[in-house]
Amino acid sequence: MIYRFEDFSLDGGRRELRRGDQIVAIEPQVFDVLEFLIVNRARVVSSDDLLRAVWQGRIVSDGTVSTRINAVRHALSDSGAEQRLIRTLPRKGYRFAGDVRPDADSAKPNDLAALKQPAELPASSTRPSIAVLPFANFSGDAEQTYFADGMVDEIITALSQIKWLFVIARTSSFTYRDRPLDVRQIGRELGVRYIVEGSVRKTENRVRITSQLIDAQTGTHVSADRFEGTLDDVFDLQDRLSARIVGTIAPKLHHAEVERLRYRPTGSLAAYDFFLRGTADFYRFTRETTDQALAHFQHAIELDPDFATAYGMAALCYVRRKATRWWADEAKDTADAKRVARKAVELGSHDVIALSAGGWALAYVGLELDQGIALIDSALELGPNLAAAWMYSGWTRIFLGEHDTAIRHFGESMRMSPRDPFIVVALTGTAFGHFLAGQHDQAARWAEQAYREYPNYFFANVVCACTRAVTGRVEEACAVMARVRDMNSTLRVSNLRDLEPLRQPKDLESWANAMRKAGLPQ
């Protein structure tokens, strides 16, 4: 569909805004905001509507929507004072006020319009399903939020090891922090039957955890519990809460299943505190906080040399350094990554995070693909609800050339964490899997979504350039390749395998041919 207004035309298929014969420069996310306003021009669009449609409900700063609206106005030569085309209705939202003339006949069958929507994610699991929301921090100290988050992390990890229970990942459930939404809405958005919410109060040497188990379909409370003890009892409190949740959902739960919840990550509370601090920093996803997280995990390991999960999380810090090119010293970091990964899997034979993270680090950083995938598979057998492990499996299978399996596993990851702030990694992996399998139209659908929603993610640009090149849109592919080369000026066809270690020669050849076609030098 092409929408014409004044002397502008917005082509949703080609994702172009033109004024007369000239293309107007507009960022992908700003384009999405404008397109959504035009399509919904018959009503007032709220900020929440835009967040759901353009950002898919991800947490963004308060000024993000207004910044994008101002960018739309700038592209249309409008202004906040004039509001010729974009009207602001205080405390209500925005409305597109232009006279729009839709032109459906001008849309060409092979335009990107046919590729905009990705394939559907896997359907909701038939298993009992649950999401644990961030617990409120009632400690009277905002800096203790990391401790409350750590309690929830441990509960999610414990529940994830119950094979018949479907558990939403932390990265999705934590997007609801401080958002006053009805639990029924959260249940619909995450596709779960049960919601757990609660609070943590930590004062001196005592901890109090309260929780409520809620039926998300009806909004009614199933159970409410309070557990209180000293810091020395913290693992026991987590065990009791996890067992209470599982026991309530399944009254006939076998005793053996409850016993599986009783895993102690460490016997050192000091080490555990450093681990919680490291986890909080890890999920902030900046270079500085990644370095801080690694330092915290290293402190935890110094205090408890047998702390398998801390080794696993430290390994993930090195994975991130490679993926983002935040290397301090590539050779040293590679050696350190392999060392902590091997220690994680040596100590963590019953720890799903240690096994999967260690396996992923050995595969991606250490290039030990066969050992890596074996460890990740063991982790998935142990705890099939860890979304990150399905993600690691997807990428490792891409490297091995098992494209169909990779695509399925990326789908599992997205189903378990549908609101993951880093879901672009799975979107891009799905696109790359279809591309290497020769399914170019499907690859383009996923690649365009990843590029549209995450234009600054490096590999989304890479895969978008490839899929555009192989689907006949070479000029547009070259434009994206220019962005790729701005992000990584050293990238060449000859060193592609340093970027992604593809084992199969035919996969590397397909990738190299597409990259050449998109304009990457040899």
pLDDT above 70 for 232? yes
Average pLDDT of the segment spanning 340-354: 91
Q: Coil, helix or strand for 160?
A: helix
pLDDT tens for 468-487 read 999 999 999 999 999 999 98
Confidence of residue 466 (pLDDT cuts 50, 70, 90): very high
Q: Coil, helix or strand for 305?
A: coil
Please tell me the predicted confidence (pLDDT) of residue 116.
Answer: 37
- Give the domains, in start order, of the chain with CATH numbers: 2-115 (1.10.10.10), 129-263 (3.40.50.10610), 314-330+341-517 (1.25.40.10)
pLDDT above 50 for 123? no
Locus of tokens 């409900």: 57
Q: Coil, helix or strand for 132?
A: strand
Distance between CA atoms of residues 149 and 200, nearest Å: 9
Average pLDDT of the segment spanning 331-353: 92
pLDDT above 90 for 517? yes
Distance between CA atoms of residues 397 and 369, nearest Å: 9
Confidence of residue 114 (pLDDT cuts 50, 70, 90): very low
Please tell me the predicted confidence (pLDDT) of residue 160.
Answer: 77
Alpha carbons within 13 angstroms on the beta-carbon side of residue 6 total 12
**SS3 annotation, 50-106:** HHHHHCCCCCCCCCHHHHHHHHHHHHCCCCCCCCCCEEEECCCEEEECCCCEEEHHH
Residues pairing with 215 in the sheet: 194, 220
pLDDT above 80 for 109? no
Query: CB within 8 A of 326, min separation 6: which ones?
Result: 287, 290, 320
Average pLDDT of the segment spanning 65-89: 88
Q: For the chain, give the number of residues.
A: 522
Say how many Å lie between the first and final Cα of the chain, rounded.
38
Contact by Cβ (8 Å): 428, 460:
yes
pLDDT tens for 206-223 read 888 888 888 887 788 877
Contact by Cβ (8 Å): 479, 376:
no
Average pLDDT of the segment spanning 267-291: 87
Long-range contacts of 114-117 (CB under 8 A, 24+ apart): 114/13, 115/441, 115/444, 115/445, 115/448, 116/12, 116/13, 116/445, 116/448, 116/449, 117/445, 117/449
